[in-house]
Amino acid sequence: MFKAIFAALTAMTLGSSALAQADKTDAPRWSIAIHGGAGTINREQITPEQDRTIRSVLAKALAAGSQILEDGGTAIDAITATIMILEDDPNFNAGKGAVFTWDRTNQLDSSIMDGSDLSAGAVAGINGTKNPILLARAVKDHSPHVMLSGEGANQFSREQQLDQVSSDYYATPYRLQQIEDLLAEKVSAADVDYKFGTVGAVARDSQGHMAAGTSTGGMTGKRWGRIGDSPIIGAGTYADDRSCAISATGSGEYFIRLGVAHEICTRIRMRLPEAIREAQRAVPKNADGNDSYVIHASEFRLSDAEVQQIADDVIAELGALGGDGGIIYATPWGQAGYSFNTPGMYRGRATSEGQQSVSIYGDEE
């Protein structure tokens, strides 16, 4: 019944392409999307071996999150486990493999949000913690605060008995070379970071709860305690059971200025009652001139096309402002997807209905 009502209403309000989509889609019980950064990622710049390595790590992270969701676990647990795998992998700019600051140190940022109660935790400019996402989560779960920074956050991490690492743990030869090149002025900061390697995950679990998380080393050569969007709730990360879960990657200053993650969720949340009203107007009248049925929010969802359009609109505004990058999204209706304005984005998505893909370049699914 729900499917029939939805399909009919979608057809009336959005046209026949949306109808086709609604007809073949049973709302997934769970869904997950992940990213490992966006940027100038094209086939000329990536060796076949790098391509294979990145895809296999993304697939491993996606599989770990999917398994938790398939077993009935929570969205927040799924994204935490997924992000830890990407943090531990040296190919990404998070945890091991984080970029270096101007002072040749690593200052990591991370955030996490649970859409079921809007609880959130974030850390900025930290080091010493093996998995910054666990520290963000500890802030959320075990402190009265949302955001901790620097030495205080490091101290909180030790008090929480999270795994500690020495300051050279994060370093890789590739990241060291990047900072040396930048400091020798061989390349500008923009060139060095044209391939952002921040990681993130968003999910909807089988209870209908949403979660989002992001982890990064920030921008190569950052100075003066610069903090990007990744640890900022509403900019790089947001989750709300009523609308969506978002994790971003790209030129953080622009994501902060637009409040990208919150903006997308807000547009989805505000669009919903409007779309229901439109659909209600299309409901056939009965003999006495009244609507033959009343649409309830619980039997209505935005179509894939409409969610994608909202995400694309916000990323277009980001681009117009001068920002590069992208986001991943999950919705309460089981959709999982991406929007980005760069040539590529390391990404993957999976749903309980068997959809599963890992992609790198812009022309892939």
Catalytic-residue membership of 198: yes
> Shortest Cβ distance from residue 257 to ligand ASP (Å)?
12
What CA–CA distance (Å, rounded) separates 347 from 355? Answer: 14
> Shortest Cβ distance from residue 132 to ligand ASP (Å)?
12
CB closer to ligand ASP, 103 vs 278: 103
CB closer to ligand ASP, 22 vs 94: 94
CB closer to ligand ASP, 115 vs 250: 250
> Shortest Cβ distance from residue 253 to ligand ASP (Å)?
7
Give the interface with ligand ASP as residue ranges (CB under 6 A).
37, 93, 196-198, 216, 218-219, 228-230, 249-250, 252
Short-list 315, 309, 192, CA closest to 260: 315
> Shortest Cβ distance from residue 200 to ligand ASP (Å)?
9
Tell me phi and psi for residue 4, to 5 degrees.
-65, -45
CB closer to ligand ASP, 239 vs 275: 239
Among the options 82, 129, 198, 216, which is catalytic? 198
Active site residues: 198
